[in-house]
Structures are given as structure tokens and as C-alpha cells.
Amino acid sequence: MSHLDRFLRAGESGSMLLIDKQVGITSFDVIYRLRRWHGVEKAGHAGTLDPNATGLLIVCIGRETKQLHRFADLEKEYSATMQLGIQTPSYDTETDVTERRDFSSVTLDALMDVCRRFTGRQMQTPPMYSAVKHRGKPLYKYARRGKVLERRPKEIDIRQLSITAFSAPNVEFKVTCSKGTYVRSLVHDIGLALGCGATLTALRRTRIGEFRVEDAVTLTQLDDAKRLDELRQNETNDYRIPA
């Protein structure tokens, strides 16, 4: 039985569901939709994805929400694209470009050299546009009011960082990293190291531990499966012979 079938038949016992999140919605939007459209009373997710990001989101339903902690420390894998020569306050395309720089001198060799320097354990400062709390409020609320606060760097581990395509100003790459890593901050730091600035323009989470996005379902597929399951149940009831 697939994880989708287990979700459809879970009831109070709960289940785990792998969702392939679409662009433009928050991770909580996924939970809200499960509650509103699928009658799920209790649900939670492991590892938030930004609205502009797509890919794997682990969702636990019912009693399985008590097991969310099992996924907290698992390494994560992403495929992403950065654009050289531009910078934004959020380090991605959520906010407008505030600075442009010349990137014509950046070569593939220079990119690969910088990536090697950013591989391994290191301290990373979270972006202002993040959910990290300061005096009980997420940083992004301060950022939206134009405030920039000092943030405490945290140790992360970039276990693999490789360039998969380069056509200036766009750089496609893959990264495997520890929990708490902001790929946006990684891109920002790479841009500073190159001297031209860089901004994250696309991000897709492809793996969390042993769980892969290839095994996930989209919300549209989930809706279709729900309707098909209900149709089959109705047909079974229609042809049931009374005792």
C-alpha cells in the first residue's frame, strides 16, 4: 500500500504523506488545504519551504504528528538556480532588486573554486526575511518595516555543492546540507565571494533523508485520488446486496 493509500484510509490512526509543494503557496497553506478539503483535523509538516520554493514536504496526519521530530535532523537535498549580478533584501525574488553589479568576469572555474570554499561545516547568518525569532517576533516582520537587525550565526554543514549548468548570469546547482541551512543565504554569500552579488531565483527540495520527491504527490493529484476513492466507495454501496 502506498503512502497515498494509507492517507486515504488512515482515520484516527494517522499517516505520513509526501507532498510535492507547488510554487506560490506556503507550507502552512498545504496543511490548511488538507484540513479544509480533506477533513483532516490534525496535521503538521517537517521542514518549511518558502512560498517561491517547490518540492518535497513531509506531512504527518493524526497521531503521526507526534513523530514529526524524527525528520528534524535529516539532511536535505536541493536543486536550485542563482542569478549573478543582482541582490535583493530577501536574497531571492520575493523582494525587488536593490543592487546590480557587473558579472562578466565570473568564470566556471571561479564558481567551482568558491563552491569548494563553501563546502563543509561553517557559520551561516540567517536572512532578515526569515522566521527566526527576535524578541518573540519573526525577523521578516522587522524586515518588512525596513529594519535590519544583528543576527546570530549558526553552524551548518554543506555536505555537497556542485554546479550543474552555467550560462551567465544564471547558475544551476545542487546542494546537500544539514538542517537549518538557508540556501538563500548560501547564494548571497557566494555572490559576495565572487564580488558581483547573487540572488536565488529557483529552489526545489528533492530529498529529505531517505524520502524523495519522486515518491511525492501534488495537491492536485491528492484531490483527484480523493474523488476517485469516494466514487469507488459510492459504486460499491450502490451494488451492495441487502442481507
- Which residues form the catalytic set? 50
Expressed in angstroms, the distance from the first to the final Cα of the chain is 30
Please tell me the total number of residues recorded for the chain in this structure: 243
C-alpha 114/C-alpha 72 separation (Å) is 29
Q: State the DSSP string of the chain.
A: --HHHHHHT-GGG-EEEEEEEPTTS-HHHHHHHHHHHH--SSEEEES---TT-EEEEEEEEGGGGGGGGGGTT--EEEEEEEEETEE-TTSBTTS---EE---TT--HHHHHHHHHHT-EEEEEPPPSSSS-EETTEEHHHHHTTT-------EEEEEEEEEEEEEETTEEEEEEEE-TT--HHHHHHHHHHHHTS-EEEEEEEEEEETTEEGGG-B-HHHHHHHHHHHHHHHHHHHHTPPP-
CA 81-86-91 angle, to 5 degrees, is 65
